Amino acid sequence: MSIFDFLLSRKKTTSASIAKERLQIIVAHERGSRGQPDYLPALQEELIAVIRKYVPIDQDQVQVALENQGTCSILELNITLPER
């Protein structure tokens, strides 16, 4: 499964137009033959910390989804940015 298949499968559940400002981060890791520990869960907090340097993010406005399917791990962060 590629990242595109993943995104297509989720398209139906995503509202086409959202008025609020939002930020979406997707990290997809397609592994080759070698095995490797999945580092995406550990990575997500660091990614949020980096983003937070640039835009204000409340922790409760971050939705995290992590999926493992075959050789592809996908971390998806959906952040609704607060009104200023």
User: How many Å apart are CA 76 and CA 28, to the nearest integer?
Assistant: 8
CB 3 within 8 A of CB 75: no
What is the closest distance, in whole angstroms, from the C-beta atom of residue 59 to a second copy in the complex? 18
Q: Which residue has the tokens 């070698």?
A: 34
Nearest to residue 28, comparing CAs of 71, 78, 80, 79? 71
Region 8-67 residues binding a second copy, contact defined as CB under 8 A: 8, 11, 14, 16, 18-32, 34, 36, 39, 42-43, 46-47, 50-51, 53-55
| CB-nearer residue toward a second copy: 35 or 60 | 35
Residues that bind a second copy (CB under 8 A): 2-4, 7-8, 11, 14, 16, 18-32, 34, 36, 39, 42-43, 46-47, 50-51, 53-55, 84
